[in-house]
Structure 1
Amino acid sequence: MTSDTSPRDNPGHQLINLQKVLNGAHFPATRDQLIETAKRNGADDEIIAFLETLDDAEYGSAAEVSNAAS
């Protein structure tokens, strides 16, 4: 089942899922490294698509990734 709600539209869902799928990420991390970590942790297509929209930059923490979602 898919959802019509993107992570940006549902901040609570996004924050929980981002924290879960970024568990074990080594920061600072690039967008591509975050995507690879998320895939290894079983992220759904919605979260991967969201991560792909992030700026191609280096992120210092999961909180910084979450803030980029705002």
Structure 2
Amino acid sequence: MTGMMRYLAIAALAAMMGMGLAACEDDPGPAEEAGQNIDEAMEEAGESIEEMGESLEESAEGGSDGY
């Protein structure tokens, strides 16, 4: 390859990579939104289960007066 052809190939590759990055938008697609909703629901469920466990533990500690 001559120097000029190599330079043009590198410039074309850089331009394609730049266009690829420009195509990545901040707006999530429907699949990504669904995934985020699932993640949030699982996190909320985990927090609820943890709170329920703490409540049961407190009840067990308070209800055992040595009887």
Instruction: Identify the TM-score tier after normalising by the shorter chain.
Output: under 0.3
| Larger strand fraction of residues | 1
Q: Which structure ranks higher in relative contact order (CA pairs < 8 Å, sequence separation ≥ 6)? A: 1
TM-score, scaled to structure 2: 0.23
